[in-house]
Amino acid sequence: MNAPYIHKLLTGKVKQIGNPNATDRLNKPWESGMFKKEVAGNCWLSKTGLNNDEVADTKNHGGPEKAVFAYPTGHYHYWQKKLATDEIDIGAMGENLALKDADEFSICIGDTFEIGDAVIQVAQPRQPCWKPARRFRIMDLALQIQNSGRTGWYFRVLKEGYISSGNSLTLIERSYPQWTIAACNEVMHVYKDDLRQADALASCSLLAPNWKRTLQKRLRGQNSSVEKRVYGPNKED
């Protein structure tokens, strides 16, 4: 199999959208950093993300465990066909790395890659929020992304450096081949009653702390609803 590579490198500033006088909740004001544009040439990658990239919701996005969001380019054909639109294309999910030759079945928690001058490590799958739904005016889009398994994933940065479009991701370590992104998504969203698997995944040392906390709560019998995350202010309480 070919090594994954960056088809497009993308960054974006926080943007305010919407009409303060709107009555439709999907038209009301909101802000997001998910509107990304392609970067030409080298871009500095720090422990907290790419230069000139921003997130609006710093509580739930960004930071060292979500420094870089990657999404496979091959998924866009699926979304275009399923949703009957060509508006959802590369960058639509707010990704920083639009990757070729990688997907949720070939990428594992803890996978460590050299990329350009940097070294990055897979930290967690993405759990989509309500903002893609607002952007494309599809109320249950976050839930569709989650249920499809086509979520993408986040990297932490082990070594800062310059990266650019075209850079290959050279695998230098794979500690948990059993914990593909697809397998993690199944534990979190599909087989919620399988506490043995939840315990095993929570014990993965390179899994992001917020995923561990969610799984540990489940083991204590404290299951949380996804409603707020996937619908947010798009839907009335």
Each residue's pLDDT tens digit, 4-59: 999 999 999 999 999 999 999 999 999 999 999 999 999 999 999 999 999 999 98
Q: What is the pLDDT of residues 95-133, one digit of tens each?
A: 999 999 999 999 999 999 999 999 999 999 999 999 999
Q: What is the pTM of this model?
A: 0.97
User: Is the separation of the CB atoms in 184 and 109 below 8 Å?
Assistant: yes
- How large is the average pLDDT for residues 187-204? 97
Domains and CATH numbers, the chain: 5-234 (2.40.33.20)
pLDDT at site 2? 87
- DSSP string computed for 13-27: --EEES-TT-SSGGG
Whether the pLDDT of residue 66 is over 80: the answer is: yes
Around 44, how many Cα atoms within 13 Å sit in the side-chain half-sphere? Answer: 5
Give the dihedral of Cα atoms 156, 211, 111, 204; nearest 10 deg. 130
C-alpha 75: how far from its chain's center? 13
Closest CA to 49 of 151, 157, 164, 166: 157
Res. 236 pLDDT band, cuts 50 70 90: confident
Q: What percent of the chain has pLDDT over 90?
A: 95
On the 0-12 / 13-18 / 19+ scale of CB atoms within 10 A, 221 is exposed
Identify the pLDDT of residue 62: 93
